[in-house]
Structure 1
Amino acid sequence: MNEGHSLLNQESWRVIDQSTMGESFSALQSFAMDDTLCHVAGQGKSPATARIWVHHNTVVLGIQDSRLPILEKGLAFLQEQGYRAIVRNSGGLAVVLDEGVLNISLVFTEQSKRIDINRGYDTMVELIRYMFRQYDCKIEAREIVGSYCPGSYDLSINGRKFAGISQRRIRNGIAVQIYLCVNGSGSERAAMIRDFYRVAIGNETTKFAYPEIIPDVMASLSELLGVQLSVNDVTLMLLKALQDYGGTVFASSLTEEEANLYENYLIRMQERNDKVNL
């Protein structure tokens, strides 16, 4: 643990747990929620916040995915698989969310000092390594070629990816977001996204190079560690880790002011998705 110099060393951690909201909880709401928390953190109105969230059978698309040549066929394919799709407002490409995938957002303020982009990523890597320190494994942060939504901060064990990290910055607030494939089949999730791209691209040529997905390079933590982990297990590991970094951890919901901001950000998310008929 990097005492004193880590962004994880906060006087207090506000925790918003939305991991058990159920099927009606849309990923649109999640991205509006993180925008709201960035906004208030940037104004110095909220301490560092950890938001925990889970969505049922949802594929979250990136901006580039919304430009796929035969997107409507790709969306129809996902629907046949029992998945809904939304377009997020942060970078990256398509990822799969379901009941075996835990998402964590860490929200910080840049009001007094700017947080370098790499420092944001490194903070999340530090947290995940600390959470899983009891297991005999080396968690690497590097791009895993053949994974969906590949990036230089893919998290992997023995070359197989189980997590991806993104960032969102608004008004001096920063949200570092990660999805963790806790259980289930990582390769099955990847195969669905591979097939989605095949359907949505067809025989068309694209200016943007979409990933050539190799399902076997992706796995869940349960598969990689050889233990059956639940989302709740990993949630408890997160809360314990935040406590270990010295802060007071307290549960919270939105204030009235935040709830009003949230409604505005949710409208923006809905409008963004309406533009691509999602």
Structure 2
Amino acid sequence: MSNWKKIINDSTFRYIDHSNTSELPSAMASFAADDALAISVGNNDSPPTARLWVHDQTIVLGIPDARLPYIESGIHFLHNHGYRTVVRNSGGLAVVLDDGVLNMSFIFPDVKKLGIHEGYQVMVDFTKHIFSDLTDQIEAFEVTGSYCPGEYDLSIQGKKFAGISQRRVKNGSAIQIYLCVEGDGSERAALIRDFYIHGLRGETGRFDYPTIEPETMKSLAQLLDTNLTVDNVKERIFDALSSLTKDVITDDLNEHELIEFQKRMEHMIDRNSKALGDLA
């Protein structure tokens, strides 16, 4: 058994489906929920957890994005195109969320035992596993020209469909992936390209912002030429967890986690207020 399966193969695994946007209507709430769960899992008050989430018409920004020289222009551009904006509490740059993008968080305990790269690799290998009947061409490397580029971009034939970030809170680790399942990946990339055009206005800024080439990004449905949907992928994730672990429970946030969630939500609101001011 490979190492990633050993990490997932706990006696019990928790599965939380927050993909109905009415449950957690704001992406800000999703980041707060992952923090609350990381604390709970890290304290061994919860088993390792997979949480699914979807947020429509939202651009998740990184801290460097909030420091664009003409951030007001960039934000107004996104708002005028019907997108909300949120500054994340994990690393990375701007990404697009909509109803064709499925996010998943793996939340594990014992951060001292689970290295950062090992955490990323678990998500890479699990993603390859759930799509193994459709392709063996998924690779992990930084896709130049994509938005939010990173070492653990996932692509097929050089076209990116997913990115992974990681956040560690006390003794818990949340490894987060956004999967562009359906829709047009290039259109999403063009939106972020234009956001940077408005936010930079020809200047370089204080950060090395990516030069986005929309054709470097596609959805899985486009890459595999299938009718793959977010619901299909949710089923694949649940089925994989059911086969890899001894038991899967579907308990939502409990009373103690909700208390921590409220605290973390306040932190997110404060972070966004400081980063974006009246634009938040």
- Answer with 180-189 or 40-49: which moved more: 40-49
Q: TM-score, normalised by structure 1?
A: 0.96
Q: Please say if 1:267 is aligned against 2:266.
A: yes
Q: After superposition, give the CA deviation of every residue in 1:188-247 in whole Å (9 maximum; x if it has no partner).
A: 000000000000011333121100000001000000011011111000000111112133
Contact 2:4–2:125 (Cα < 8 Å) also in 1: no
2:21 corresponding residue in structure 1: 21
Distance 1:4 1:81, change over 3 A: closer
Cα deviation for residue 23 of structure 1 reads: 9.2
Give the Cα–Cα distance (whole angstroms) in 1 for the partners of residues 59 and 5 of structure 2: 36
- Summarize the alignment of residues 206-225 of structure 1 with structure 2, pairs less than 5 Å apart: 206-225=205-224
Q: How far apart are the structure 2 equivalents of 1:109 and 1:263? A: 21
- List aligned pairs for 1:127-276, cutoff 5 A: 127-275=126-274, 276=276
**Is the CA contact (8 Å cut-off) linking 1:22 and 1:56 kept in structure 2?**
no
Range that drifts further, 257-266 or 113-122: 113-122
- Asked if structure 2 preserves the Cα contact closer than 8 Å seen for 1:3 and 1:245, the reply is no
C-alpha RMSD of matched pairs (Å)? 1.4
Q: Distance in 1 between matches of 2:89 and 2:4?
A: 33
How far off is 1:21 after superposition?
A: 2.4
- Give the counterpart letter for 2:132 in structure 1: R
| Distance (whole Å) between structure 2 residues aligned to residue 107 and residue 4 of structure 1 | 14
Q: Deviation digits for residues 169-201 of structure 1, max 9, x if unmatched? A: 011100000000000000000000000000001
Once the two structures are TM-superposed, the CA of residue 12 in structure 1 deviates from its matched residue by 1.1
Distance 2:97 2:60 in 1: 7
Q: Give the letter aligned to residue 117 of structure 1.
A: I
**2:59 aligned partner:** 59
Query: Size of the alignment, in residue pairs?
Result: 277
- Alpha carbons 1:23, 1:55 under 8 Å: kept: no
CA deviations over 1:4-25 (Å, ceiling 9, x no partner): 8631111111111000124970
Partner residue of 1:101?
101
Give the direction of change, closer, same or farther, for the CA distance of 1:58–1:4 in structure 2 (3 Å limit): closer
Conservation of the 8 A alpha-carbon contact between 1:23 and 1:56: no
Is contact 2:189-2:213 (8 Å) kept?
Answer: yes
Moved over 3 A (4+): none
Which stretch of structure 1 is more off in the superposition, 88-97 or 6-15?
Answer: 6-15
Gaps of 5+ in 1: none
Secondary structure at 2:105 match in 1 = strand
| SS at 2:7 equivalent | coil
Q: Which residue of 2 aligns with 1:40?
A: 40
Q: Is the 8 A contact 2:41 2:109 kept in 1?
A: yes
